[in-house]
Amino acid sequence: MLPALATTSLGSENFHRLMLWFAFPVSVLALTQGCRRHKDRIVLTAGILGLVLLTTTAVFGHTLLTEDGERITTVLGATALAFGHIRNYRICNKNKCKT
């Protein structure tokens, strides 16, 4: 949901970096634990791809990409990250994991 806010007045470079400070550690923790438990490399691959796209866009996007390119790359990164989290969640539910 946070990337959608990037199209509003909150869509500054600082906002992207702030989002990353919250999303990065939570995502790394959740995705690595999920991969360790389920041995599902797709979860980890999607998560890494999403985090790399989001981090690269937040740090270098304003110099490497156009404004539309930044939006597209941010949405792609967020989608990949969300896919990894959803897949992790579904596998955990299927296997009745304890949190």
Q: Is 4 part of any domain? A: no
Q: Is 71 part of any domain? A: yes
pLDDT at 3: 54
Q: Is 99 part of any domain? A: no
Number of domains in the chain: 1
pLDDT at 98: 62
pTM score of the predicted model? 0.73
pLDDT at 83: 93
Residue 18's nearest CA partner among 35, 40, 36, 3 is: 3
Q: Is 42 part of any domain? A: yes
pLDDT at 4: 56
Distance CA 32, CA 74 (A): 22
User: Could you tell me the residue range of the domain that residue 21 belongs to?
Assistant: 11-94
Q: Is 1 part of any domain? A: no
- Output the average pLDDT for the chain: 79
The pLDDT tens digits of the residues spanning 6-54 come to 555 455 667 767 777 887 888 888 887 777 777 788 888 998 899 899 8
